[in-house]
Amino acid sequence: MSALGDDLDENYSRFITDAADTGCVWGLEGPDGWALCDSETFPQSQVMPFWSQPEFAESHCVDEWQGHQVVAVSTEEFLDDWLPGMHDDQLLVGINWNDELAGQEVEPLDLLEDFESALD
């Protein structure tokens, strides 16, 4: 499995493809809940990151996320429950951030639309 690179659009597409193929996505859960951080792009917003492979998520269990565990969420649950819930909570989704924490921050319903387009 090759590492995530600097092409953020490619990392985003890979997230959708991998999640469809494997049936799950990966997040970081800690003692106080799921990993969150401030948005780099949208002031006053928070982002919950997810990755398409467990090893991509694992590389982020350092610094402020040390002590977090990599947790799988089924793609079906992610699409049906998580994304609408994140939209309701006004959270953004961080997609396949690389080791420099570079990656796209998207509105959950936009990601849901992209999944639906890719799965058609």
Q: What is the pLDDT of residues 64-105, one digit of tens each?
A: 999 999 999 999 999 999 999 999 999 999 999 998 889 999
Contact predicate 19/25, CB 8 Å: yes
- Note the pLDDT of residue 8: 94
Confidence of residue 119 (pLDDT cuts 50, 70, 90): confident
Contact predicate 48/92, CB 8 Å: yes
Calculate mean pLDDT across residues 30-41.
94
**pLDDT above 90 (res 118):** no
HEC readout, 43-64: CCCEEEEEECCHHHHHCCCCHH
**pLDDT above 90 (res 120):** no
Secondary structure (3-state) at 39: coil
**pLDDT above 70 (res 1):** no
Calculate mean pLDDT across residues 11-23.
96
0.85 exceeded by pTM: yes
Average pLDDT, the chain: 94
